[in-house]
Amino acid sequence: MALSPRLHIKQTQSLILTPQLLQAIRLLQMSSLELAGFVESELQENPLLSRRDDIAMERDDESRAGDAEIDITDAGPNAGPDAGSDAGIFDLPGALPQTADFLTDAIDGNPADLFPDAGAPGEGRPEASGNSYRDRGPRGGAGVSGRSASGSFDELAGRHENLPGYQSLVATIEASIAAAIPDSAMQMIALALLADLDGAGYLGTPLTELAERLDVDQEVVEAVLRRCQELAPSGVFARSLKECLALQLAERDRLDPAMRALLDHLDLLAARAIDELAPCCGVGREDLEAMIAELTELDPKPAQAFAEFRPQIVVPDIFVRPAPGGGWALELNEETLPRVLVERAYYVEVLGRLGGAEEKKFLTECMQQATWLEKSLDQRARTILKVAAEIIRQQDAFLTHGVSHLRPLNLRMIAQSIAMHESTISRATANKFIATPRGIFELKYFFSSSIPSTGGGDDHSAEAVRHRIRKLIDNERPDAILSDDAIVSRLRPGGIVIARRTVAKYRDLMHIPSSIERRRDKQTASAR
């Protein structure tokens, strides 16, 4: 058969992502801060967009009062933020599914406060800022940032206003350098040393490299460094943990030969080798324990209290509170929703005055972009509220009883319940936070893997299992430290059967040391 070119008619279906649809998808995934920046840039570029004034906001609030809040208890087949509307950008269904009645009792119990761990330590420097593994939270999860007994929206929204401010380490030391080092050349070297300090107050650049960079003798740099090490806060400008502690002890006039020997054997101290340390320091066990107690009072990161960054403030996108008639009421945080107004009257007025085709085309494109942005923002809010409502419906036991009652949940379960795609659920929960009576959580926090139950009951959430492991370790006695195998045995009567290596993995995620390290810690604490 000869090969020859031919014409064929073929009909196919394919999904085409228009620029507008891509923009809507990106908006759904943005955090409130990213969204505010994006809308601000659109306001600068589009002449038909403006911030909504107070009158327009009041009219809109009155007309959409029912859209901003959902009472899950009363939700029916046609309930939900987009009930009665056409299918939106993200192919939303018109209703929330029928939900069950939830809470009838008041919220009780004490939610666990979780705090993220400090940044990664440097070599030869302190590894943790906390004094106990109980003060550390699980990696990668959104912890509780506060709690409210009343569940008031106003109280939840105002939590960030009382955060303490941070002093500037640079400004403090610059003033001290100007007062303590009158020579201008020496001041320049001191400022160069200051610029090389890391966040903990350590000098990270070798003096030889600094001397070469400044084109001065190394002895001069060392002399300036000694002057800088006398400045407050004590311990700053150290080149190692040993030197940092030595500077603080010298300020207290406690750097005697025994203490110097202890600093020379910090590796033995880290291994809790008390019996080996005592001969090295030339003191008895009782004196050695007193020296160790004195070391624990020092600050291994002297510059941390003067950190120049502010902690990231988490602003919730959604508020949850107990509804008066039982159940939960969800409300969007209006402060995180950008308010834009499309100047349609201005568009009609200007369009009638324009005579050129290019000008009319530009203005028409601006109108289309403004209208689409307005629609995308509205649909984004409705989607987030719908997804959050279903998450709260699925995890109502967590809000009532705490982490131990967190249910296994994944994206597919939410997607099937509200007839959305899993990718939409993933975008709607990315970088979004919800304020509950038990604290502020990232929406992703409520998704947890499933651990089968051996008793034929409901499966256990991995987060709930980690919570039980933490409680077992927190309640262990100093003379009966639980090994990983013992924890496995304690969990088995509750229908939780996991391997020892799983317990070890969960301990590592929660920054809890092994049973050997915990036994040494408690023996050292009891010996004091």
73 within 8 A of 377, measured Cβ to Cβ: no
Q: Residue 49 forms beta bridges with which residues?
A: 342
Section 496-521 average pLDDT: 82
Phi-psi region of 97 (alpha: psi -120 to 50; beta: other; left: phi over 0): beta
**Could you tell me the two tokens for 43?**
């306001």
State yes or no: pLDDT of 136 exceeds 60: no
Q: Residue 70 forms beta bridges with which residues?
A: 330
Backbone φ, ψ for residue 315 (5° rounding): -105, 120
Backbone φ, ψ for residue 174 (5° rounding): -60, -40
| Radius of gyration of the chain measured on its C-alpha atoms | 31
Angle (CA) 203 207 212, round 5°: 130
What is the per-residue pLDDT for 458?
59
Q: Could you give the CA distance from residue 224 to residue 64 in angstroms, rounded to a whole number?
A: 66
Task: Give every CB contact of residue 5 below 8 A, 6+ residues apart in sequence.
Answer: none
The one-letter amino acid at 528: R
73 in helix, strand or coil? helix
What is the per-residue pLDDT for 384?
93
238 in helix, strand or coil? strand
Average pLDDT, the chain: 73
What is the per-residue pLDDT for 318?
93
373 within 8 A of 340, measured Cβ to Cβ: yes
State yes or no: pLDDT of 322 exceeds 80: yes
Q: Which of 95, 21, 83, 61 is nearest to 375 (CA)?
A: 21
Q: Could you give the CA distance from residue 322 to residue 103 in angstroms, rounded to a whole number?
A: 8
382-435 tens-digit pLDDT: 999 999 999 999 888 888 887 777 888 889 989 999 999 999 999 999 989 999
Q: Could you give the CA distance from residue 507 to residue 473 in angstroms, rounded to a whole number?
A: 10
Backbone φ, ψ for residue 172 (5° rounding): -65, -45
Angle (CA) 360 363 364, round 5°: 85
250-266 tens-digit pLDDT: 888 888 888 888 888 88
State yes or no: pLDDT of 460 exceeds 50: yes
**Alpha carbon 442 to its chain's center:** 8
The one-letter amino acid at 58: E
Section 208-235 average pLDDT: 84
458 within 8 A of 473, measured Cβ to Cβ: no
44 in helix, strand or coil? helix
Section 339-358 average pLDDT: 85
280-306 tens-digit pLDDT: 888 887 778 888 888 888 888 887 766
40-57 tens-digit pLDDT: 999 999 888 888 754 455
